[in-house]
A = this chain, B = another copy of it.
Amino acid sequence: MSDAPAPARDRPTVRAAMGLPVVGMVGGGQLSRMTHQAAIALGLSLRVLADATHDSAALVAQGVVLGDHTSLDDVRAFARGCEVTTFDHEHVPGPLIESLEDEGLQVWPGSVALRYAQDKIAMRERLAGMGVPVPAFLPIATARDLEGFAHHNGWPVVLKAATGGYDGKGVWVVGSLEEAADVLASGVRLLAEEMVPLTRELAAVVARSPYGQAAAWPVVETVQQDGICVEVVARAPELPEDLAVAAPELALGLAGALGVVGVLAVELFQTADGLLVNELAMRPHNSGHWTIEGARTSQFEQHLRAVLDWPLGDTDTTSDHVATVNLLGPADGSDPRGNLEAALGIEGVDPHFYGKESRPGRKIGHVTVTGTSGEDVERRAWRAHDALVGEQGRGR
């Protein structure tokens, strides 16, 4: 049984000048910014609901509306001006999205699907119920719950906030009840997970349209440091053929079963026993930034095509090897953009800056390099990273 909503028949048809639809994105971060870049080529101009005029996307788009993404009034007024509304993040409350849907507004992904990207407990329970391999988990409220979980699964245990976490925030690895005390006392809704003995992390990124058309990019390796993705390598090097097939199939199956519309990124643990699903994101995702240069259709254009129910684009790679390295604000508070000229001097480096103020550890951009040798593209991407950020931020 699928949760997928039926294709809408009676869409409101708010149309911009020139006969093309108005797409709105809630959230003014870098995902909106890069989606706007893709929208320009399609003849569209993304409308953005931003918190502030200095938001990443608000700096570069024409149709910026300031508002609070947790306010029904603000989001509703915004969505009423758009033919389709989509999201740059998962933080719009589910009941708010349901209200928009009840009004007949087109919102993708819909609230039914989006719940599994917003609530890790709902996601784990749903996936386990479908027989999809996930780490051992338990929703917990008390020290006693945690003790029972650790008794069966061993220490350390990974505690996760059920909602609201990102980039390592909302995740705590605890070695004992004592270490967990503060988190348990914080009142945050929690999920306990086994510490998976993983070989590495992968991501399978796909897109699906309301009509049900779906397309997958090749599986990538994601390199994490302190819970933040620092590098993405496409395709994932030395991935066994069975996993290279199984991972996109798994992601496409989830997109269909959950009724996702737009881009779905499935973060995966590769273990000696196969793949486990770590997280889901229902929007363009850091693990798909490489597609801007490295694939025939970028995840940003594909997300637009999907939410508009237009034909999806070709997901073939344009190069044998692609490396994307994230740029995190250096610990000394300096701004890597001061070193841009040095980085541009490195051959074949495509920089992407998000227009965000540099703060220690904050993702302010990324660089991508494409080429014919995996070692060479990674080497050049890290050289550009080092020229911009310095070696202190090096991931591997």
Contacts and interface: CB of A to CB of B under 8 A. Distances in A.
Interface of A: 17-20, 33-34, 36-37, 39-43, 45, 54, 58-62, 64, 296, 305, 310-311, 313-314, 316, 318-319, 335, 337-338, 340-341, 344-345, 347-348, 350-358, 365, 370
Give 6 closest A-B pairs by Cβ, nearest first. Answer: A43-B353, A311-B345, A311-B344, A45-B60, A314-B348, A41-B352
A310 B356 CA distance: 21
Contact of A337 (B36, B43, B316, B348): B43
A220 to B, nearest CB: 19
A380 to B, nearest CB: 11
A38 to B, nearest CB: 9
Contacts of A345: 311
Given A311-B341, A341-B311, A354 B43 contact: yes
Q: How many copies altogether?
A: 2
Contacts of A350: 41
Contacts of A358: 18
Contacts of A310: 340-341, 344
Contacts of A34: 40
A337 B355 CA distance: 32
Contacts of A17: 54, 59, 355, 357
A350 B293 CA distance: 13
Contact of A43 (B45, B54, B341, B355): B355
Contacts of A316: 348
A43 B351 contact: yes
Given A347-B314, A353-B20, A33 B40 contact: yes
Contacts of A58: 62
B60 A36 contact: yes
Contacts of A39: 60
A313 B344 contact: yes
Nearest to A344: B311
A340 to B, nearest CB: 7
